[in-house]
Amino acid sequence: MKILLGVTGGIAAYKALELTRLFIKAGHQVQVVMTTGAKEFIQPLSFQALSGHPVRDSLFDANQEAGMGHIELARWADQIVIAPASAETLAKLRMGRADDLLTTLCLATDRPVMLAPAMNRLMWRNAATQENVDVLKQRGLEILPPASGEQACGEVGEGRMPEPQAIFEAVMRAEKMRLQTQQAGSALKAFWHNKALLITAGPTYEDIDPVRFIGNRSSGKMGFAIAEVAAKAGASVTLIAGPVALPTPQGVKRIDVRSAQQMFAAVQQQVAAADCFISAAAVADFRVEQPASQKLKKRQDEEEMTLTLVKNPDIVAWVAAQDNKPFVVGFAAETNDVIDYAKDKLRRKKLDMICANQVGEGQGFERDDNALTLISATEQRGLALSGKREQALELLAFIAQQQSSVD
């Protein structure tokens, strides 16, 4: 693999040397591009010694393809990695600036770009930086979460550049995902192109009063991953999202809801146009019968509080019961007897397929990886633990296989 490693100004620039070494040791080619700020922290000769290539740092280099070096580099790379990625670099990329070689080639490439941010904890948490991160994610750039710990300034918190080994592993996972996508790509695109896919994702919140609610720990990451992969495969994707702070995948229509009833109403409005419905949301089974209009107060003479709960609509069962239903995929997140409960739900709700996964004790919810078991009436396939985008890819391929066998 040909890796273009961008190094920007920051004390963490020295860690990029170890990252270069890891790539070279694994047999990859590395071309380092340094910004002016990066050279204040580390000498280009160090990268040249490790990579075997002179460092590139000039936008106007007459010795490189008649002075069009950014075009040459943009075409050469299979993967662009910027580590460390400073707050200034994030801002420039978000604005589409092109005032140095690194930012210019990022504009001139169609290759995947991965960023490893490194900055002071307050700079990282600043609303402007977080907005830049969200926008860049929506545009398809992969941004690794910064590590937490002691910083060069003496403060402690989020903002440290991820360790080189973690960045290396993230790049290898991304490459594996790309290869899998390419291998399954033609079949996936042949099936999903112009198919209408409706997905629910995330939790629902059921209000107790204007301050409190009943909720669950679903992050929405699985549903969002499915939406992202499906859109890249050519599907027309509508994502009905509960209250989650995740960027909308590129090319996906998003509808935000809060409660189970709101999610049900949105599904009812959208499902007629869907060829496939995937119910990845963790919908609350019950809601408070009469939410209080004012904040409920704790009284000294009360040791208990009783809330009357009523059942929420069963969204996936309702969709499966429609005369002109789409292909219906449910999810079964269980803490025990996962496969048995999932098969029972598949039969009882008359679903076409179900995805079973173990949750609790650090599994399933609030994680970037998953291990689904895909179950239809005729087949059961367990997936090894992997990132949720990898799980989404295999899930969509399984759906295509199931529907093609019926057709």
Half-sphere exposure of 314 (CA within 13 A, CB side): 12
Q: Are residues 163 and 234 in the same domain?
A: no
- Does 79 reside within a domain? yes
Q: What is the pLDDT of residue 184?
A: 61
Q: What is the pLDDT of residue 1?
A: 92
Mean pLDDT of 218-239: 93
Q: Are residues 210 and 357 in the same domain?
A: yes
- Does 71 reside within a domain? yes
pLDDT in tens, 295-320: 988 887 778 888 999 999 999 999 99
Task: Name the more confident of 360 and 247.
Answer: 247
pLDDT band at 150 (very low <50, low <70, confident <90, very high): confident
Query: Which of 142, 172, 202 lies at the terminal end of a domain, its last residue?
Result: 172
User: Is the pLDDT at 28 greater than 50, yes or no?
Assistant: yes
Q: Is 276 a catalytic residue?
A: no
Half-sphere exposure of 360 (CA within 13 A, CB side): 8
Question: CB neighbours (10 Å) of residue 75?
Answer: 13
User: Is the pLDDT at 402 greater than 80, yes or no?
Assistant: yes
Is pTM beyond 0.85? Reply is no
Query: Which of 172, 204, 219 lies at the terminal end of a domain, its last residue?
Result: 172
- How many domains is the chain built from? 2
Asked if residues 8 and 99 have their Cβ atoms less than 8 Å apart, the reply is no
Q: Are residues 168 and 309 in the same domain?
A: no
pLDDT in tens, 31-79: 999 999 999 999 999 999 999 999 998 876 655 544 445 677 888 999 9
Question: CB neighbours (10 Å) of residue 364?
Answer: 23
| Cα 226 to Cα 140, 169, 231, 296, 331, distances in angstroms | 14, 22, 8, 39, 13
pLDDT in tens, 350-373: 999 999 987 755 555 666 778 899
**Residue ranges with strand state E in 90-185:** 113-117, 142-143, 147-150, 156-160
Q: What is the pLDDT of residue 118?
A: 95
Asked if residues 67 and 39 have their Cβ atoms less than 8 Å apart, the reply is no
Look at residues 119, 101, 131, 112 and name the one whose alpha carbon lies nearest to residue 170: 112
Look at residues 213, 197, 217 and name the one whose alpha carbon lies nearest to residue 205: 213
Q: Are residues 82 and 139 in the same domain?
A: yes
Q: What is the pLDDT of residue 66?
A: 46
Options 106, 153, 276, 355, the catalytic residue: 153
- Does 244 reside within a domain? yes
At 106, the amino acid letter reads C
Look up the CATH number of the domain holding residue 151.
3.40.50.1950
Q: Are residues 204 and 58 in the same domain?
A: no
Q: Are residues 160 and 128 in the same domain?
A: yes
Query: Which of 117, 140, 172 lies at the terminal end of a domain, its last residue?
Result: 172
Question: CB neighbours (10 Å) of residue 138?
Answer: 13
- Does 186 reside within a domain? no
pLDDT in tens, 164-174: 999 999 999 88
User: Is the pLDDT at 277 greater than 70, yes or no?
Assistant: yes
User: Is the pLDDT at 13 greater than 50, yes or no?
Assistant: yes
Mean pLDDT of the residues in the chain: 89
Q: Are residues 84 and 155 in the same domain?
A: yes
Look up the CATH number of the domain holding residue 362.
3.40.50.10300
| Cα 75 to Cα 79, 92, 136, 251, 253, distances in angstroms | 10, 21, 21, 25, 31
Look at residues 76, 80, 98 and name the one whose alpha carbon lies nearest to residue 89: 98
Q: What is the pLDDT of residue 38?
A: 94
- Does 144 reside within a domain? yes
Mean pLDDT of 192-206: 95
pLDDT band at 270 (very low <50, low <70, confident <90, very high): very high
Residue found by looking up tokens 């239809």 in the block: 376
Q: Which two tokens stand for residue 189?
A: 């695109």
- Does 182 reside within a domain? no
pLDDT band at 186 (very low <50, low <70, confident <90, very high): low
Give kind and range of the element (H or E) at residue 240. strand 236-241
Q: Are residues 143 and 227 in the same domain?
A: no
- Does 184 reside within a domain? no
Question: CB neighbours (10 Å) of residue 325?
Answer: 17
Q: What is the pLDDT of residue 67?
A: 45
Q: Are residues 39 and 82 in the same domain?
A: yes
- The strand pair at 353-358 and 327-334 is best described as parallel
Q: What is the pLDDT of residue 62?
A: 58
Q: What is the pLDDT of residue 152?
A: 72
Phi, psi torsion values for 18, nearest 5 degrees: -65, -40
Q: Are residues 72 and 214 in the same domain?
A: no
Q: Three-state SS for 255? A: strand
Domain that holds residue 117: 2-172
Q: Are residues 106 and 215 in the same domain?
A: no
- Does 8 reside within a domain? yes
Q: Are residues 146 and 254 in the same domain?
A: no
